[in-house]
Amino acid sequence: MLGSVHYKWASLLSSWLLISCAYNDFPKFADCSKSNLSVNILSKQDPSICTAIDGKVILTASGGQSPYSYSLNESGFQSTSSFSFLGPGVYVAEVQDALNCQTSIQVNLNAPGSSLSASASVTPDSECLTNNGSITITASQGNAPYQYQFGNGTFGNQNFFSDLSSGTYVLTVKDANNCPSVIGVIVPHVSTGISYSHDIVPILQANCAISGCHDGSLGSSRDWRNYNNVKTNAQNIMIRTENRSMPAGGLTLTQDQIQLIACWVDDGANNN
């Protein structure tokens, strides 16, 4: 009797896992590497003086799939393409389409009467669970000495900023006349060297390629024991693990495991 009850519960659990995995089957996401999305400057207005914040930029997008949303120096995406109350500097303008594909361009706003300029040298972020990107800002012209601000921090003499993840950062240089110049800097991602065989396969085996789920139960194309299947669905796996809609069946991944998957996918989902 006990064995019969145990068998029935095991059968129900297996059926529930199969239904759960099937229900959580992957939607299709756009391959943004093939997108023709672009963004351009429709018009711009430079600040009237170096200390003014009356600059304006209007962007325009094309390609990809509308509707579009726009961002300037990581200000957050908005539906309107117009940005006001801008000071002098170099901005990173981004557009995102309905498929969540993104692209960016640089926007320069110059202040009359000020020769202050700033440039950045960048070390990419090449680590996964920690960050090793860095930015060095170099100011020129204007009137020395210069001060530097990272994000919304305080101004100081430090012009080197380290331990950064990939992404867009906003820095400001100010000269002795208090003329500022904003600069948007992109720290790129480069390969982290995360291994499919050593880092990713154990995660999949323990949480996904299990009985009633991605062990072939959903069909041969959903068998996560096969590298080619995982490669094909790598972008979807990353998205679903990041939003914690998978794995199914009440299993959870640690934040480090989620990050390892994301790094491996960003590296190119290599069979290494």
In order of start, what are the domains of the chain with their CATH numbers? 2-29+192-266 (no CATH), 31-113 (2.60.40.1080), 115-188 (2.60.40.1080)
* 96: phi then psi, degrees, rounded to nearest 5: -130, 135
pLDDT along the chain (272 residues), means of 10: 39 42 55 87 96 96 95 91 95 93 93 90 96 96 95 94 94 94 93 96 90 83 90 91 84 93 94 96
Q: For residue 174, what are the β-bridge partners?
A: 147, 180
pLDDT number for residue 32: 80
- Cis peptide upstream of residue 202 (ω within 30 degrees of 0): no
CA distance 113 to 267: 45
pLDDT number for residue 27: 54
Q: What is the identity of the amino acid at 22? A: A
pLDDT number for residue 18: 43
Q: Which residues contact 30 (CB under 8 A, 6 or more apart)?
A: 65, 99, 100, 101
Structure tokens at 216: 């072939």
Pairing state between β 89-96 and 180-187? parallel
Tell the residue number behind the tokens 């240089």, with chain if given.
173
Pairing state between β 38-45 and 55-62? antiparallel
pLDDT number for residue 10: 38
CA distance 131 to 116: 31
Name the percent of the chain in helix, strand, coil, to the closest 5. 25, 30, 45
* 180: phi then psi, degrees, rounded to nearest 5: -95, 160
CA distance 272 to 262: 15
pLDDT number for residue 221: 84
pTM: 0.76
Decide: helix, strand or coil at residue 264.
Answer: helix
